[in-house]
Amino acid sequence: MNRPRVLSGIQPTADSFHLGNYLGAVRQWVALQEEHDAFYCVVDLHAITVPHDPDTLRRRSRIAAAQLIGAGLEPERCTLFLQSHVPEHAELAWVLSCLTGFGEASRMTQFKDKSAKGGSEQASVGLFTYPILQAADILLYEADQVPVGEDQRQHLELTRDLAQRFNHRFGGTFVLPAPYILPSVARIADLQDPAIKMSKSASSPQGIVDVLDDPAQIRRKIARAVTDAGRDVRADEENKPGITNLLRIYSALTGEPIAAIEARYGSTGYGQFKKDLAEAAVATFTPIRERTEAILADTESLDKTLADGAARAGRVARETMATVREKIGFVPRLDRP
């Protein structure tokens, strides 16, 4: 029986993933590789939609891939690759961009947020068409499910709309992908400002716990996380958003239900709770950091793993693109199978 297909991507735009990336997405990627035909890509084409430095991008792309393996992806079990190694992503993105309405693309809230920061005149056309490239990533692999955090939901809706439109106009081609979003970890908040999500672009360094932070940094950031008035360790989104966020993180890291954690710390104050939370984060991230460092010490072998992944991904992508070219009305190239 064919296993259901999964695809997801992550941007190599920082020196480390953060706790939100890990709990909201990467951890699910690791779990899903067991029972699914899983494709995971480091989306370096997406990373150049904002100004970037070439050497930094190259370094971060390898760090991202190494961290994914360090976090538990097994390249024999899933297909791990760099997006730029499979040129069909850009090719399908072009086709889909010709099916996307200008108004439709203009409604993407991530574009509005990101372009507002630098002034929309400065934003690149690539940043504007970013979600269409994301749709291409997903549709190329005929993914059934896409494990992501809540902030990607709108992009997945666009992906489904584009797949449906293509199928309607040119005949059934694409599978309609479903978002795979776990509500308990879909939106991890910034430790300094629980009103915003933890994010590489919006958070202050103190508001983010990085997967590659050393234990001292993790302990310091969690100790300084903003809490709310009172002493009760109790989930209450409205009145205690800071503690609620920390409870969610604690529960996700340890697997203990929130109610059990509330019962243990009760009204003993926030101190011990935060200390134990920091230790849970250190226990999760230390082995990931150590494995990542070991993988990065042998770039040649990492690049070989990525080449293998790209070869596997490329086979699927080329097949989909052959169908798309045919459906759209391009004349086949005789020397191409």
**Packing angle, helices 54-70 and 270-296, rounded to 10:** 110
**Interatomic CA distance for residues 231 and 253, integer angstroms:** 22
Tell whether residue 10 is a contact of ligand TYM (CB under 6 A): yes
Q: Which is nearer to ligand TYM, 21 or 265 (CB)?
A: 21
Q: Which is nearer to ligand TYM, 185 or 295 (CB)?
A: 185
Residue of 183, 181, 99, 185 lying closest to 139 (CA atoms): 99
Residue of 5, 6, 8, 280 that binds ligand TYM (CB under 6 A): 8
SS3 at position 215: helix
Residue of 188, 191, 261, 281 that binds ligand TYM (CB under 6 A): 188
For the chain, give the number of residues. 337
The pattern of x and - marking residues 20 through 49 that bind ligand TYM according to CB under 6 A reads xx--xx-----------------x--x---
Q: Which is nearer to ligand TYM, 60 or 240 (CB)?
A: 60
Identify the burial level of 35 via C-beta atoms within 10 angstroms of its C-beta, where 0-12 means exposed, 13-18 middle and 19 or more buried.
exposed
117: annotated active-site residue: no
Tell whether residue 149 is a contact of ligand TYM (CB under 6 A): yes
65 contacts 76 by C-beta, under 8 angstroms? no
Tell whether residue 100 is a contact of ligand TYM (CB under 6 A): no
Tell whether residue 91 is a contact of ligand TYM (CB under 6 A): no
For the CB of residue 89, give the shortest distance to ligand TYM in the complex, in Å: 9
Contacts of 194 by beta carbon, 8 Å cutoff, 6+ apart = 226, 241, 242, 244, 245
Would you tell me which residues interact with ligand TYM (CB under 6 A)? 7-11, 20-21, 24-25, 43, 46, 134, 137-138, 146, 148-149, 151-152, 186-188, 197-199
Which residues are known catalytic residues? 114, 197, 200
